[in-house]
């Protein structure tokens, strides 16, 4: 067996005849019990030092990531308290209105836009066709604007999420 060749290391400005032999071998890290460069299948070098806890841990982390992504996709944007579900858009025909909570009316204009209004204090509202009428006989459109005269009704915050209508009754 031939000896490994030696390399000459010469510092700048040093005498080239006064050199120190340096080994050319490299240090290799490998798992115990296998020869260097052993390959098992198409996945590369053998990695037999990892235990079953690494497999279980990676499965648990993968499931947590899957759960977080699924929850984020299906629940992100859903209104929370104080919003309450009062119905669905497809169950509220155009140009109609109805009372959905005590003192909260939900109306849908002929163009399909949905509005929630609160009835005035001490003056109950009634639905009359495609309009609201208060105790004084004043008429209001489904969006809360007065037909002829008077102050507009208070519009409540409203959000439509996946076809469901959410209203903030504390508005």
- For 52, left (φ over 0), alpha (ψ -120 to 50), or beta? alpha
Question: What is this structure's pTM?
Answer: 0.56
* pLDDT tens, position by position, 2-37: 555 555 555 556 566 666 666 666 665 555 555 555
What b/e readout covers 48-81, taking b as 16+ CB neighbours within 10 angstroms? eeeeeeeeeeeeeeeeeeeeeeeeeeeeeeebee
CA dihedral of 93, 99, 103, 109, whole degrees rounded to 10: 20
Is the pLDDT at 110 greater than 70? The verdict is yes
Per cent of the chain over pLDDT 90 is 11
* pLDDT tens, position by position, 64-104: 999 999 888 887 778 888 888 888 888 888 888 888 888 88
pLDDT score recorded for residue 65: 95
Mean pLDDT check: name the lowest of 26-40, 118-132, 154-168: 26-40
Is the pLDDT at 138 greater than 70? The verdict is yes
117 or 44, higher pLDDT: 117
């Amino acid at each position: 067996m031939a000896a490994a060749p030696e390399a000459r290391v010469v510092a700048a400005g040093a005498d080239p005849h006064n050199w120190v032999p340096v080994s050319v071998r490299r240090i290799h890290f490998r798992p115990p019990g296998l020869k260097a460069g052993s390959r098992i299948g198409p996945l590369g070098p053998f990695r037999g030092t990892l235990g079953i806890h690494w497999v279980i841990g990676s499965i648990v982390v993968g499931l947590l990531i899957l759960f977080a992504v699924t929850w984020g996709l299906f629940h992100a944007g859903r209104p929370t308290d104080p919003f309450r579900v009062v119905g669905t858009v497809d169950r509220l025909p155009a140009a109609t209105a109805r009372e959905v909570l005590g003192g909260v009316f939900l109306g849908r204009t002929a163009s399909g836009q949905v509005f929630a209004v609160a009835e005035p204090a001490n003056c109950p509202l009634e639905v009359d066709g495609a309009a609201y009428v208060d105790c004084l006989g004043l008429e209001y459109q489904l969006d809360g604007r007065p037909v002829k005269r008077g102050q507009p009704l208070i519009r409540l915050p409203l959000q439509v999420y996946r076809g469901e209508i959410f209203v903030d009754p504390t508005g």
